[in-house]
Amino acid sequence: MIEANALTKRFGDTVAVSGLSFTVSPGEILGFLGPNGAGKSTTLRMIAGFTKASSGHASIGGHDVASAPLAARRQLGYLPEGAPAWPEMTPHGFLQCLARIRGLSPALARSRLHYTIERLQLDSVLHQRIDTLSKGFKRRVGLAQALLHDPPVLILDEPTDGLDPNQKHEVRSLIKEIAADKTILISTHLLDDVRLLCTRALIIHQGQLVTDATPQSLAARSRFHQAVTLQLHADLLEEDLELIIQLIHAVPGVKDIDIQTPSQTQGYQITAFPAQGQEIYAAIRELASQADWPTQDVRLELGRLDDVFRQITGNSQGQP
C-alpha cells in the first residue's frame, strides 16, 4: 500500500509538485505518466523518502516515510532514476552487499540472488565491474537490486528505459508475474508500458494530477476509440478509392474520414471515425467483404494512448 496525501515540493520559487494525492493498493500496477519535467521523479523520490516533501505526507505499508523512515524503507524496493549503483562493484558483489545491508539470512540471500540473477539474465556479466556494463545491463542490475528482498512495495522509475524489445518484454512479464500481492508504482514515458503492464494510470502535468484512470478508459478518450481502419492495396485506382470513400461515408454513424496516402509498399490507410456512441465496425466490414474491396486488413481501433496523452498534456512538453 502506498499513500500520498497532498504531497508538495517547492524548489525555491518553483513548485515542482503541487498537492498530489493518490493511493496504490496491493495487486495494482500504477503507471505514473507525464511529460519530462512534470514532477514524476520528484514525486517518487518523496515517496521513497530520499527527498523531503515541502508539505504533505507519504506512507508505505502504513509507515509514514518522514516519521518512520526505516520501517517504511524495509517494505520498499526502489529503482531510482537512472538506476544508480556503486560503479566499482560487480553485479554479484553489489547484490550480495545489499542482501547483507537488508539483513537477509544467508540461505534466503542465496536463493533470492539466484532468482533475480536468473530472471534478469545477469549471469553473463556477474563478475564484471558495473561501470563497464551497457545501459540495458545497468538497468537490470538496478531492477535486481529493487526485487532482491522480495518487498511488498515496489517503486520503479522508468524500469524499461534503455532495454531492447526482448528485454522490455521480459521485464514486463516479470513485473506482472510478481504483481499479484504487491503494490507497484512505476513511472514511465513509454505508453506501451502503460498499455501492456499497468492496471491504472496517473497523468501528471506541471506538478499536478490531471488524470487517474485505467488504460482502457484512457484509451476510450481517444478520438480513435471505436474507429475503423482499412488497409488497402497500393495499386488501387484513384476512382476506386474515391468510390470506397463515398460508400464508407454513407455508412450510418460515420462522422469523419482520414486518408493516409501510400508510401509505395504500405498502401492506402483509411480511418473512419464514428459519431459519439455509434458502432460502425460491423457495417464497414460487411461492406468491404460484399463489394470485394482490395483490403489487406479491416480493424477496430481501441483508442491510441499517445493521442490521449498529447490531448491531456498539451503542447508544453519539454518545458521545465
Segment near another protein (CB under 8 A); pick from 46-54, 207-215, 262-270, 297-305:
46-54
Do 204 and 38 contact (CB within 8 A), yes or no?
yes
Distances in Å between the alpha carbon of 67 and those of 52, 88, 276, 294, 306?
11, 33, 50, 67, 39
Q: Which of 231, 272, 227 is closest to 251 using CA atoms?
A: 272
According to the binding rule CB under 8 A, does residue 27 interact with another protein?
no
Q: Which is nearer to another protein, 112 or 172 (CB)?
A: 112
- Residues 104-133, mask of contacts with another protein (x by CB under 8 A): ------------------------------
Query: What are 134's three cell numbers?
Result: 551497457
**231 to 250, contacts with another protein by CB under 8 A?**
none
Q: How far apart are CA 84 and CA 21, in angstroms?
A: 27
Residue 273, SS3? strand
Measured at the CA of 131, the angle between CA 158 and CA 37, to 5 degrees, comes to 30
Minimum CB–partner distance for residue 98 and another protein (Å) = 7
Closest distance to another protein from the beta carbon of 54 (Å):
8
Taking CA 161 as the corner, what is the angle to CA 27 and CA 223, rounded to the nearest 5 degrees? 70
Among 4, 76, 202, 254, binds another protein (CB under 8 A): 76
Cell of 265: 509498399
Shortest Cβ 203–another protein spacing (Å): 24
Task: By CB under 8 A, tell whether 294 contacts another protein.
Answer: no
- Out of 6, 36, 55, 86, name the contact with another protein by CB under 8 A: 86
Query: Is 76 or 202 the residue whose CB approaches another protein more closely?
Result: 76
Helical residues (DSSP H) of 13-134, grouped into ranges: 40-48, 69-74, 91-101, 106-119
Q: Which window, 43-51, 190-198, 215-223, 243-251, contacts another protein (CB under 8 A)?
A: 43-51
Distance CA 62, CA 72 (A): 8
Report if residue 51 touches another protein, rule: CB under 8 A: yes
Nine cell digits for residue 136: 540495458
End-to-end CA distance of the chain: 30
Q: Is 138 in the site for another protein (CB under 8 A)?
A: no
145 vs 313 by CB, closer to another protein: 145
- Is residue 135 close enough to count as binding another protein by CB under 8 A? no
- Cα separation of 247 and 5, whole Å? 54
Q: Dihedral sign for Cα 185, 191, 193, 197, please.
A: positive
Is residue 50 a contact point for another protein (CB under 8 A)? yes
Residue 92 C-beta-side C-alpha neighbours within 13 Å: 8
**Stretch touching another protein by CB under 8 A, among 97-105, 117-125, 212-220, 307-315:** 97-105
74 lies in the binding site for another protein (CB under 8 A):
yes
Is 314 a binding residue for another protein by CB under 8 A? The answer is no
Regarding 98 and contact with another protein (CB under 8 A), the answer is: yes
Question: What is the binding site for another protein (CB under 8 A)?
Answer: 11, 45, 48-52, 69-70, 73-74, 76, 78, 80-82, 84-89, 93, 97-98, 100-103, 145
